[in-house]
Amino acid sequence: MIVWSGAARIALYVVALLSLILAVRELGWIKFRLPERKLQTEKVWAHQFGFVLASAMWGLHIGLGFATRITYGGFWLLVAAILALGNPAFGAVLMLSYWMGRVLPLWLAPVLLSSSDEVFESTEAVFDHGFVYHRLVGIGLAWSAGLTILLAMSA
């Protein structure tokens, strides 16, 4: 059983509120821009470090999320939860889990699909139906808000 301090409980309620606000945004009921840095990875890295090392550098640069475009609110909820809980080890595991969830579909798609045309078509399908993706993220954020409230209420 987890015992939360008063400050931790308040932080969790703030995270739950942020989750609800982001869910409403993703569902399209309100509109506001998310904080982001519109940066591109450095193309020159491929020439300086070779393609393999440059790919790893690009993955780290983009994968951290703070140095690239953020198009949905789930990332910021994750950051808020890590800050609220204040546990660096838990935060590192949570960010690694987030990264794996983002990269596994890209790694597995070529293996699961038989032709490169199918990979391209599946990627296009995701981008063509971005509104569906945002709605699903909104539902996930609403679910996260509920779970966070339950977590904060646990004694």
What DSSP string runs through 29-96?
SS--PPP-------THHHHHH-HHHHHHHHHHHHHTSTTS---STHHHHHHHHHHHHT-HHHHHHHHH
**Who has greater pLDDT, 148 or 125?**
148
pLDDT-derived band at 18 (thresholds 50, 70, 90) equals: very high
Q: Rounded mean pLDDT of 45-64?
A: 78
Nearest Cα to Cα of residue 67 among 42, 90, 44: 42
Q: Rounded mean pLDDT of 141-150?
A: 85
* 91 has pLDDT over 90: no
* 68 has pLDDT over 70: yes
Measured in whole angstroms, how far is the alpha carbon of residue 49 from the centre of its chain? Answer: 28
pLDDT value of position 81: 86
* 52 has pLDDT over 90: no
- In terms of phi and psi (left: phi > 0; alpha: psi -120 to 50; beta: otherwise), the region of 99 is alpha
Mean pLDDT of the chain, nearest integer = 77
Which position has the token pair 């790919």? 55
pLDDT value of position 5: 80
Q: Rounded mean pLDDT of 123-136?
A: 65
pLDDT value of position 22: 92
List of residues 6+ apart from 84 with CB closer than 8 A: 8, 11, 12, 14, 15
Q: Rounded mean pLDDT of 29-42?
A: 82
Give me the residue spans of the domains in the chain. Answer: 6-35+70-153, 36-69
